């Protein structure tokens, strides 16, 4: 298992389940209510900024009362607080690009945010797919940094620091119980693992 398994364009990682060539598009973010009903908790049908959410794709991660939504149309990650209904921008300034490391996440550019995951500390990770990076928003400071990928597409770097490795269209993200990060490296048809203690990247599937 693991490295002996072939994966075709993995995109979504959740509970370490892997989906191949799977696309989820949600113009409005919904949740299941009682009796099997569905409630819309953010956004409205159709595209556009009127309700603050565009296409939410590969999109949801939760931490406490917060739901994090990657909005690749507008190049941002949004924070929906279920406790009060507030919807704010966590990362991205609304213009596509790849900049801002070391500064406030809300002033940074994201090229194509797709996967979102949250570690045990509440730090939010987003796969900036077309920028070939995985970026982290520090829960305490709001500062954004790159944790994997150089910004140049490719498949290199196993055994070294994840920030020096090359990825191609990273998409789905997931954490295990030890905060090791798993990245669906879609363009390379692989799953990469970033060790929580060392920051070393490896290919696991």
Residue pointed to by tokens 């796969």: 127
Between the CA of residue 93 and those of 39, 108, 115, 198, what are the distances in Å? 28, 6, 18, 31
Residues present in the chain in total: 205
> 59 or 106: whose pLDDT is higher?
106
Question: At residue 52, what are phi and psi to the nearest 5 degrees?
Answer: 75, 0
Domains of the chain: 2-203 (2.120.10.30)
Q: How far apart are CA 141 and CA 185, in angstroms?
A: 28
- The pTM of the full predicted model, rounded to 2 decimals, is 0.78
User: In the prediction, which pLDDT does 59 show?
Assistant: 61
Task: Quote the mean pLDDT of the chain.
Answer: 80
Percent of the chain clearing pLDDT 70 (strictly above): 71
pLDDT tens digit string along 130-176? 999 999 999 999 999 999 999 999 999 999 999 999 999 999 999 99
Within a 13 Å sphere around the CA of 62, how many CA atoms are in the beta-carbon half? 8
């Amino acid at each position: 298992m693991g490295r002996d398994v072939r994966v075709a364009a993995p995109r979504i990682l959740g509970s370490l389940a892997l989906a191949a060539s799977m696309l989820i598009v949600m113009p409005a973010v919904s949740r299941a209510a009682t009796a099997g009903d569905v409630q819309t908790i953010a956004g409205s049908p159709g595209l556009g900024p009127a309700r603050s959410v565009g296409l939410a794709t590969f999109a949801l991660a939760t931490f406490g009362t917060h739901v994090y939504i990657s909005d690749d149309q507008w190049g941002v990650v949004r924070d929906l607080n279920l406790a009060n209904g507030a919807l704010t921008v966590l990362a991205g300034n609304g213009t596509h690009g790849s900049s801002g490391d070391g500064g406030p996440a809300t002033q940074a550019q994201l090229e194509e945010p797709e996967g979102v995951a949250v570690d045990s500390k509440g730090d939010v990770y987003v796969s900036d797919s077309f920028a070939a990076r995985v970026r982290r928003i520090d829960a305490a400071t709001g500062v954004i940094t790159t944790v994997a990928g150089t910004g140049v597409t490719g498949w290199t770097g196993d055994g070294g620091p994840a920030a020096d490795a090359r990825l191609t269209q990273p998409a789905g993200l997931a954490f295990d119980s030890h905060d090791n990060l798993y990245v669906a490296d879609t363009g390379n048809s692989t799953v990469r693992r970033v060790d929580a203690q060392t920051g070393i990247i490896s290919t696991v599937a």
